[in-house]
Amino acid sequence: MGVEEELLLVDPLTRALSPQGPEVVSEAAGELGGRAGTELTRYQVELRTDPHICLKEAADQLRSTRTATARAAARLGLRVASTGTPVLGQAVSVPITPGARYAHSAAHFRALGDEQTACACHIHVGLPDPRDAVYVSNHLRPWLPPLIAFSTNSPFRDGQDTGYASWRSTTWGRWPVAGPPPYFESPAHFNDLVDTLLNTEALIDRGGLYWDIRPSHHLPTIEVRVADAALTPDDVLMLAAVVRALTATALHFVQAREPAPRPAPEILRAACWRAARDGLTGTGIDPLTGRLVAQTTLVERLLHTIAPALREHDDLDHTGEQWQRLRGEGTGADRQRAAYRQRSSAHDVVDYVISATCPPSGQR
């Protein structure tokens, strides 16, 4: 498995976004090489881990990569912040990173590019036969709502509480190819659909498939893209362990030729919306029955389903501990709101996110 995460750059005095992404990436290049890269907007940097089998090794590299990026940003007078949306406002027309693809995207999708300042955490899981990816995707689809619920980390936008635990997930659906992926009958069905989307210019290239789950267009992996940028390294690692175990469980079902559950697209979309609105609090929608169920029950059902795969990867105890931590502390969204409640200050939220993004050694 490997992790890709997008972080924001912030001025520590004004707490406003800083458009120095390319400069921070260049500053970090000597230590990180290709593990740090630019994103569409200059407000962001993208960090990548190498592929890992051992969760502890992934954890060590994830933390060291965040720390090295924070050091590079600090040398330029900046800080890094891991949150799904900017806490404070941004310019209406965002500064685009130079490059032909970025320029094409901005011209083609117009004001939608302003939503690209949103940051996500993407988990790649390697598959022995990449043709299995479309069938694995079918088995993962019903689990998107609980994945959203426990990874919410974007309650604020323009200094205001949106009322959503994941505002990023909600706004991301504006893109023409986004949200829960369709049910694919076969790899040929997937390829034909993508070709049609390209031919109709709903996509500019295969990298623009913004579905919450997608077979990678350049790696032998499946990529789960549904989560907000995770507040802390521990939040990332719980997500990574769960996604890997869920993918392994789905692959077992595919190889056993067990049919994937097929929730109605309308109900699955509604369940994802509810999870993005409320996070772990209150009730969610079971996409297979359409009934309201406690959101924590849906997450625990997911963890029960993937327990054998978690145990096989020696991740069961760690994931259980992290789940109990989330039950007690809340998601990233809950913790951002707790920071705000101290003095009703959006500046305090930014400061908290900065400190949580790269916590001191020994702290979560």
CA distances from 201 to 8, 77, 109, 184 (A): 29, 41, 10, 21
pLDDT digits (tens, 9 = 90+) for 35-84: 999 998 999 999 999 999 999 999 999 999 999 999 999 999 999 999 99
The pLDDT value given to residue 40: 83
Is residue 364 in a domain?
no
pLDDT at position 72 is: 98
Predicted local confidence at residue 133, as pLDDT: 96
Q: Which pLDDT score, from 0 to 100, does residue 91 have?
A: 54
291-337: per-residue pLDDT in tens?
A: 999 999 999 999 999 999 999 999 999 999 999 999 999 999 999 99
Q: What pLDDT shows up at residue 105? A: 64
**What is the tally of structural domains in the chain?**
1
- What is the structure's pLDDT at 20? 97
Q: 70 is written with which tokens? A: 């924070």
pLDDT in tens, 96-145: 667 877 676 666 554 565 666 899 999 999 998 878 999 999 999 999 99
* pLDDT for the residue numbered 131: 86
Q: Is residue 363 part of a domain?
A: no
Compare 281 and 107 and report the one with higher pLDDT.
281
- Residue 109 domain boundaries: 2-357
Residue with token string 């117009």? 110
Q: Is residue 344 part of a domain?
A: yes
Q: How far apart are CA 84 and CA 334, in angstroms?
A: 13
**338 - beta bridge partners?**
none
Which sign, positive or negative, has the C-alpha torsion 226, 218, 50, 34? negative
Per-residue pLDDT tens digits for 202-235? 888 888 899 999 998 888 999 999 999 999 999 9
pLDDT score for 260: 97
Instruction: Tell me, yes or no, whether 87 lies in a domain.
Output: yes
pLDDT of residue 231: 98
The average pLDDT across 258-283 equals 96
What are the contacts of 90-97 at 24+ separation with CB within 8 A?
90/16, 90/17, 90/43, 90/114, 90/117, 90/158, 94/41, 94/42, 94/43, 95/19, 95/41, 95/42, 95/43, 96/40, 96/41, 96/42, 97/21, 97/22, 97/38, 97/39, 97/40, 97/41, 97/42
Per-residue pLDDT at 102: 64
pLDDT band at 282 (very low <50, low <70, confident <90, very high): confident
pLDDT confidence of residue 136: 98
How would you class 198 by CB atoms within 10 Å of its CB: exposed for 0-12, middle for 13-18, buried for 19 or more?
middle
Residue-wise pLDDT for 184-201, tens only, equals 999 999 999 999 999 999
The structure tokens listed for 303 are 């963890």
Establish if 57 belongs to a structural domain.
yes
Provide the CATH number for the domain around residue 92: 3.30.590.20
Q: Which element (helix H / strand E) includes 188?
A: helix 187-199
Q: Tell me how far CA of residue 205 lies from CA of 108, 223, 343, in angstroms.
A: 12, 17, 46
What's the confidence (pLDDT) of residue 185? 96
- Tell whether 352 is covered by a domain: yes
State residue 106's pLDDT score.
64
Mean pLDDT estimate for the chain = 93
Is 213 inside any structural domain?
Answer: yes
Does any domain span residue 185? yes
